[in-house]
Every structure is written in C-alpha cells, then in structure tokens.
Chains A and B, each alone.
Chain A
Amino acid sequence: MADADEDAIRAPSNNPAQIETDLSDETQDFRLLSHLNFLSDPSSGSLPRRGEKDFEPNPTEFQADVLSASRQAMHNALAYPRIHNPKNQIVGIYAPEGPTPPPQVIGESLKTVDEQQKSTESAPPAQSKPESIKPDGKGVGVSPETCVYVPTPKGQYFKTMGQADRWNRVWLLPEEALYLLERGSLDIRWPSSLIGSDSNSESGVSTDEPSIPMSLQAAYACFIGRAGLTLERFSVYTGLRRLGYMLIRAPGWHDSIEQSETAPATSGTQKTATQPPSAQRGPGLAGIFGRVFQWIHDPMSTASTTAGPVAGLGIHRNYADVYRKLALIPWYDPVTAPEPHLDDTTPPFRIVFHVYKPSTTFKKTAPPPPDFRIAVLSTRDQTSFPTLSQLGALLESTPLDPPRGDKMDRLLYMRLRHGYRHVILAVVDQGVVSYLRVADSAFGKEKLYEAKNGPSGTKRNRFSHGSKRR
C-alpha cells in the first residue's frame, strides 16, 4: 500500500553500512524495487544495497539485460495494484469559504457537547499557532486558513495534521489536503453549494455526501495560491513530508506581519561589535596597574595601529600577546546580538516551516521546539544569494543554539560548523529543491592561537581514508 513505504522509511535502519551511501546522489536502480520486501512483508524495514554504476554502454548482452530488467522492474513497480479499500477511504469536503459550522448542527449544537468533550480527549482542537486560537466570526475554533474538512476522520494521518472542530470534523490546511490527495489517501469532494443549489435545498443528505470528486488539477488550482501557499512552499512541504518529516507552519508564513509592540529603540538597529581587547582597559587604579604591568611585561612596546607595526617593535614575550594585539577588525558576535524580531526580516527570508524529525515525538496540540527551521526561496523571484541584512535578520529570528556538549567542547571544527544559530534555506529553482544549512559560526570566538593541541590527525592519515583533499 501507499502507506507502507513511509513506514519503511520511518523505521530506523540498523545497518550502518547503508547510511554511508548517499541515496540522494545516486541514480535509481529500479531492479531493487522488485526486491523491496515491504511488498510482501511490511514489518522488515531494511533497504537493499545498490550495485555499482556502468559508465558507458558496451556491446554485451549482459548490460542490455540489466537495463531491460531494470526497466521491467520499474514497470512492475508502477503496475503494482494499489488497492483502496472502501473501508479506509477518507472523504474530505472542500470549503471554499473557509471553516464554517455544519448547517444542520447549528440547531442541535447542545446535543453534541458531550460528544465533543469525548472527542477532545482523542483529537483535541489543534492550536499550533497563537493566531489560530483567535476565533473567527463563525466560531468553529480552527485556523481560518483551513479549507477542507473531513467529516469522519480516521487513520494515522490526523495524528500529525489537521485541526478538529467542535463537531468532530477535522479541518485541513490546503497543503495538507493537497498532499493527502496527491498520495491517494484522501478523496476531496466539491461542496454542494458549488455543484448546484437545487440538490442542497432538496435534502440534508446531499450536504453530507456530495458526490462529485475533485480532480488533482482542480485541487492544485484551488489550493495553490490560497492563504500563502505557493508552489515552492508546497514542493518543500510535500518533499519533506514524503521523507517522513513532520512539518507545521511557522509564524513567518504570512508576508504581512503586524508590527510588534516593542519599542523601536530596543530593536535590532543598534549594532554590537566586540571591540579589540586593548581598547577595553579603563582608567583608574586597575588601569594604572595594568599599564605598569604592561610596561614590565613589554618595556619597549612601540605598538601603533596608525602606521604599524601593530605588534610593536619591542621584545615579544609570547605569541598569544602578539595575536591579541593584532585584533583590529571588529566582528559580529551572535551571543551579544540584539533580540530577535520577526518584523526585521523581509518576506522571502522568513521561517516558513518548522520541521520535526520522524524520531521526534510530536504532539499536534503542543508542538515541541522544532528540529529544523526552513525558509523557502524561489530562485526566480530572488535571483541572487541573500545579502547580509536579509540573511542576518533571518538568522536572528531563530533562537540561539550555541554548540554544547562534550564533543563540541573538544572539537573545534565541529563547534565552528555547528554555529550559534542556524537555519535551513530551501532554494527552489523551478521545482528542484536544494537545501542549504546556514550557520552563524563566529570564528572570532575561537581563538586558535590559544588552542593547546594542533589539528587532530595527521595529513597522511586523513588522506588514506580516501578523501580527495589536496
């Protein structure tokens, strides 16, 4: 079934050898499809190992056979019957006007209160964002951006998506509905109001079960462009979702964010830079002592930054002091950076999705802090790499995540690679998504000259690992 592949992906693979092969960079070997055992045995979750590539055609029949076998396997996989059990069929109804209470329930809403209370235990209304708490005029209690409701929700999908209203209907955001429709898990029907008013007026039954299903084309036409859902955002959403990640909309989803009430004086206009340490010596007794000590330590210092030499012509006691004197250029310190403000960011450079790894225990009602934060850019709108202010503001809108832990303390390179803040840019170039992790790695915070030990490992050792460094 269509769900099984996702299950196979979610299951942690316990073979370390498989992790080493970069799956994304290889061409698909479709012959392995016919050996994927989830078709027969969905419980085992190991992926097969691939063979090696042929780089050019040769006249052997063997190669031709391999090729045709591969093609055949692909065809077999595509021709595999995908059965939709009517028992598992999920039907959703398109609501072009946004969330509305069901018309027939308005009169008898008192009766459903008990039912609703029961349902809150299993699927309480999701309020992932503060805005969604804000009730719209219709009092449904879900985000006003949802546009498809599922009257009888069942199945695994609603653990991680959708928001339930008081009548136990689950409302889906456009990207959720489109994703489910695209993978064949949801059947969206046109609402009776759009089919024709006569069927609506005749009986209440027709509102429950409108009969015209929505085509994929129609779904794309209806949902893309609705409530900020661009095609780029949807390709990122569906791509990561298919890989097993959980995604929810981040506060930066909307281009227009109401200005926060914070005073502009405290906002990010002020620049903080660490001054060279020599400039921080203040007056007073400590300063005098310091100067005397400095004289004792370095009696003939002629250090001058005006025309050099910065290091001075006198006697140098150790290299660390020389390096400290050389620190002239201010650098950005992410720790003392101004408080993050969402309104400093400019529209495409905002965090649009919060992404959770499949292993993270995710609760719809109380989403944990995300594993990754993703901003989606389209190369056609934003033709060049972001400038410093754009990228800087984007990074400052993420929480500080300094490198911590034993490993980080030991390994300098790892610390620098991890950075103090990080964000993922999803760069969508006409449907091709490339992800870039951008980290604020303050090199200025790592004084290499103070490090006791040199680089880990010798040159020769690293080379023997098969790397191509020169």
Chain B
Amino acid sequence: MTIASSSPPTRRPRAREDGGDGRLAAVFIAPALLGFLVFLLWPTLRGIYLSFTRFNLLTPAKWVGLDNYDRMVHDPIFWSSLKVTVEYVLINIGIQTVTALAVAVLLQRLTQSALLRGIVLTPYLMSNVVAGIVWLWILDTQLGIGNEIIGGLGFDHIPFLADKTWAIPTIALINVWRHVGYTALLLFAGLQAIPGDMYEAAKVDGASEWRMFWRITMPLLRPVLAVVLIMTVIGSFQVFDTVAVTTAGGPANATNVLQYYIYGSAFGRFQFGYASAMSVALLIVLSAITFLQYRLTRAGQTDLG
C-alpha cells in the first residue's frame, strides 16, 4: 500500500516542442478570463476609484477624497439600511437553510423520485420579479386573495408588505419560497456523495434516523453545507428585485435594503460616487463574512476518507 502510493511516476510526460497544450488552454481560458477582467475586475477597480469622487455619470468625475465615506458614516439611512439587510439575511438564510436541509434529507432518505425533485425546484424557475409581483397581488392588504382567505377565516387582514413590522419577514419568506428548492437540490447533491454503507452500518448497530442525521449526515455534509451557506448568504445580502417590485423600500425606509439604497442613490439621484462608496462597504462586509464563514465551517476540508 505505502509502496504503491509513494512510488514515483514511471515517466514524466516530455514537454512537446510545439509548446504543448498551453496555447490551446489559453484559448479555452480566454473567454472566461476576458469576462472576469471586463465584467468583474475592471468594474470593481473603477467602482473603488469612483467611491472617492463626486460623479453623476454624465459629467467627469471630481476627486473628493474621503468625503463619501465621511457622509456614509454619518448617514442614518445607510445604517438603517444595513440593519434592515442583516435582519433580512438572518430570517431568509435561517429559515431557508433549515427547510432546504429538511427537504434534502427527506428526498434522500424517503424517495428517489425525480418528479418530486422537479416539483421542489419549480418556484426557482420563475424570475424574482414575477414571483415578487405575484406575491404582491396575493398579499395585498385590501384585495389580495391571501388576505381574502384570512378574512374569510374570521381574522383581520394582515398588511404583509405595507406594514413596517411585517414587510421584511414577508419579503424574506417570499425569497425562501423561491430559493428553497434550489438550495435543497444543492444539499441533496451533497448527500448523494455520502456512502450508503455508512447508513447501513449504523442501522446494523441500531441507530435511529435522528441519530444518523446528527452523527453521519451533518458531519459529512458540512463542507457542502458551508459552501451553500456562503453562496446563499452572499446572494441574500444582495437582495434587490423582490424589494423593488413589492415595497420600493417603504413604508418609511422599513425595507430600504442596502442594495436598494445603493441603486436609488445611483440611478435615482445620480450620486454615483456615494453609491460606489456604499458598494465598497458592502464588498468589505461580504468579504469579511465569507472569510469568517470559510474559517469557522472549515469549508475546504472534508471528514470523508
């Protein structure tokens, strides 16, 4: 065993005279690299530069140093936006992850039906904007069918999207509804990678489903769960479209999430410098959270093998 694994490769592939696969590799990488440079790296760098300027897009940018950051630190709407966003992320990710995990485990342990898996994914096939508008109609305080049902059951209508306490949880749940199937599918794929004989061995030892979940599923799913969490948290922090079509940040900034505030500052008020500064702040927050998550969940390591 040890001998086999430590024995050196019998022959190193000789470098070919025509330069090998390098050039062909470059061709294959080029589209992605070009996309990365043009649509990611350059805009990021330019955004960071613009955050130090006063810029309305139509006239040349004017260097103002740290003015935008100074304004941001003293802007109560920025801080309330950040708070609202965090509140949204906590509700959205909390409920979404637990539900998705439950659905994924049920899919793995109970049924292998492709039809069921398809049904679970259906809401994800809808665009965020369409989902937002449909829920806006369903949940309308006065005329929505959802509230008509609540009224028919003898309760008062609930202003789901029009009241400051209800609005953020409602938007968070709308997005849970849309994304839970997709998240469940990612987790389900992770579960498929857990060898079935582990469950068989546990069963022989008389372990309950509950115990198997905590002792086998959770530890072995951890790396996948961590990556899914990192992805969904980043996506969640960038919530925009659902807010834009359902509440437009109202009532009284109660749902003015950071992305929406940034958008409004840039494309509503043409303050691209200030919007860039807030985007940089969001970038820093997201980088920090991702780094922490990565470290805390040891997403790069697996307990398998």
Partners in one complex: no
What residues make up the interface of A, taking CB atoms closer than 8 Å to B? none
